[in-house]
């Protein structure tokens, strides 16, 4: 019979080899790859996120206790009482008391974990007694925010420069987590979100708030948060929603009551200015300058900044029949989209001025030189069905 000491000496080199391999692999990783390594959830910014954090930590400790109580004795028994060490197999039959114990104890542990988890999930869904309600609509690939009862509505697009995305410039501090117009909310108030989508399933996610809610076409889902500390909080779409999924960040600015009131007045002034601007007649240079910004925020992800599109996925606009053909058909395509394709309808997302500017830009950029101008009045006329 082989003696235990021979087995122990034989196993030792294998453990040494495994330890050496792990050390070698760890050393091969560059220091930068390990710099952001973390083993816990991000720091909570809301009471709801703190409850999630605490429950998560408690359940992890419970799991660790189960590991110690169950698997450590099991491992010791397997090693000490192995057949190779000269231990014969034990002969025993069922034990009713033991079977009742190892069935009842896990059930009680699961109930003890399920009770606070259920209460927390119910709390996450309780949007009653909210101070402000914001409708969030997901679009490929941007967020639309509407402050219900406040006459404030805007689109939030990623503002990461294309030069950073293409690798022509070093990545910024908040690469792919920055937007042109963040969601602004007052500190200390309960914010209720009602979420939906205009195309595919998106997911509005701010880890620090403990909020991650899907936005589903044809459905209204709800979420809420209250943040006491002012500051800027970042997240992103957490649902694979298409080729531009990585360019759909969420940024929330939490401000004081006075600053929030001033922000609301500013937004209403912008709406009034846009309404007044819709009746103005613009020069080609003005429309192209604004249209380039609108195009970059809404169209460049698919049709590319060069207007050449993505072969096999999104058509080129440079030299296309739509962008160089009938002007009314071009307006209709941008406003109403194209059925059964990824071409979204921008009529409800963009103002008359923005639509006029981006269409003018498309008809007079790259290899397109139609010389056509589309004025906000033309968009308004086509909306009302009076365009000829």
pLDDT one-digit tens code per residue, 190-232 = 999 999 998 899 999 999 999 999 999 999 999 999 999 999 9
With 80 as the cut, is the pLDDT of residue 140 above it?
yes
- 61 belongs to a structural domain: no
The parent domain of residue 226 ranges over: 132-165+173-274
- Does residue 293 register a pLDDT over 90? no
pLDDT in tens, 299-326: 887 898 888 988 888 899 988 999 888 9
Report in angstroms the alpha-carbon separations of 68 from 64, 72, 99: 6, 5, 20
Cα-based distances in Å from 289 to 286, 356, 360: 5, 12, 10
H/E element, 204: strand 202-206
Provide the 10 A C-beta neighbour count for residue 226: 18
Cβ burial of 246 (10 Å; 0-12, 13-18, 19+) is middle
Residue 351's H or E segment, with its range, is none
pTM for this entry: 0.74
The Cβ of residue 292 has, within 10 Å, a number of other Cβ atoms equal to 16
Domain co-membership, 264 together with 311: no
Residues 139 and 268 in one domain: yes
CA atoms within 13 A on the CB side of 103: 6
Q: Are residues 340 and 254 in the same domain?
A: no
- pLDDT of the residue at 22: 56
What CATH number is given to the structural domain containing 285?
1.10.760.10
Which helix (H) or strand (E) segment holds residue 372: the answer is: none
Angle at alpha carbon of residue 217, lines to 120 and 134, rounded to 5°: 55
**192 with 201: CB under 8 angstroms?**
no
Cβ count within 10 A of residue 140: 22
User: Looking at the structure, do residues 270 and 138 belong to the same domain, yes or no?
Assistant: yes
Strands 152-156 and 183-186: unpaired
Percent of all residues in the chain with a pLDDT value above 90, rounded to a whole number = 43
Alpha helices by DSSP H, the chain: 4-28, 31-34, 47-66, 72-80, 96-124, 162-165, 257-277, 284-298, 300-303, 321-324, 327-336, 352-363, 376-383
Q: pLDDT for 31-81, tens place per residue?
A: 444 445 567 788 899 999 999 999 999 999 999 999 999 899 899 888 888
Q: In total, how many domains does the chain have?
A: 2
Residue 92 pLDDT > 90, yes or no?
A: no
CB 243 within 8 A of CB 302: yes
Pair (287, 256) in one structural domain: no
Give the distance, in angstroms, between the CA of residue 336 and the centroid of all CA atoms in the same chain: 26
End-to-end Cα, the chain, rounded Å: 100
Quick check: is 30 in a domain?
A: no
**In 3-state terms, what secondary structure has residue 151?**
coil
Phi, psi of 378 (to 5 degrees): -70, -40
Q: What is the CATH number of the domain that holds 264?
A: 2.60.40.420
Does any domain span residue 85? no
pLDDT band of 16, cuts 50, 70, 90: low
**103 inside domain:** no
């Amino acid at each position: 019979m082989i003696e235990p000491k021979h087995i122990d000496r034989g196993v030792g080199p294998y453990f040494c080899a495994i330890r050496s391999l792990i050390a070698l692999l760890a050393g091969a990783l560059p220091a930068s790859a390990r710099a952001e390594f973390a083993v816990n959830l991000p720091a909570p910014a809301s009471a709801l996120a703190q409850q999630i954090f605490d429950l998560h930590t408690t359940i992890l400790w419970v799991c660790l206790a189960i590991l110690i109580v169950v698997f450590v004795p099991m491992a010791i028994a397997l090693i000490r009482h192995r057949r190779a060490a000269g231990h014969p197999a034990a002969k025993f039959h069922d034990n009713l008391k033991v079977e009742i114990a190892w069935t009842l104890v896990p059930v009680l542990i699961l109930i003890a974990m399920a009770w606070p988890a259920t209460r927390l999930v119910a709390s996450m869904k309780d949007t009653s007694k909210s101070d402000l309600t914001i409708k969030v609509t997901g679009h490929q690939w941007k967020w639309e925010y509407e402050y219900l009862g406040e006459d404030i509505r805007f689109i939030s697009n990623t503002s990461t420069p294309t030069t950073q995305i293409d690798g022509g410039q070093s990545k910024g501090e908040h690469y792919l987590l920055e937007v042109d117009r963040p969601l602004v909310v007052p500190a200390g108030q309960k914010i209720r979100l009602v979420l939906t989508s205009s195309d595919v399933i998106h997911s509005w996610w701010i880890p620090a708030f403990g909020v991650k809610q899907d936005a589903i076409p044809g459905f209204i889902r709800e979420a809420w948060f209250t943040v006491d500390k002012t500051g800027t909080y970042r997240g992103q779409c957490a649902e694979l929603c298409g080729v531009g999924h990585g360019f759909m960040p969420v940024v929330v600015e939490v401000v004081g009551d006075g600053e929030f009131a001033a922000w609301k007045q500013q937004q209403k002034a912008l709406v009034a200015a846009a309404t007044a601007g819709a009746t103005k007649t613009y020069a080609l240079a003005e429309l192209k300058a604004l249209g380039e910004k609108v195009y970059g925020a809404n169209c460049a992800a698919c049709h590319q900044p060069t207007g050449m599109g993505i072969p096999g996925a999104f058509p080129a606009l440079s030299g296309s029949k739509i962008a160089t053909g009938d002007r009314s058909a071009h307006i209709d395509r941008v406003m109403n989209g194209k059925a059964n394709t990824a071409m979204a309808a921008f009529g409800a997302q963009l103002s008359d001025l923005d639509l006029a500017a981006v269409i003018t830009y498309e008809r007079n950029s790259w290899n397109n030189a139609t010389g056509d101008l589309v004025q906000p009045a033309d968009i308004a006329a086509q909306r009302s069905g009076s365009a000829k």
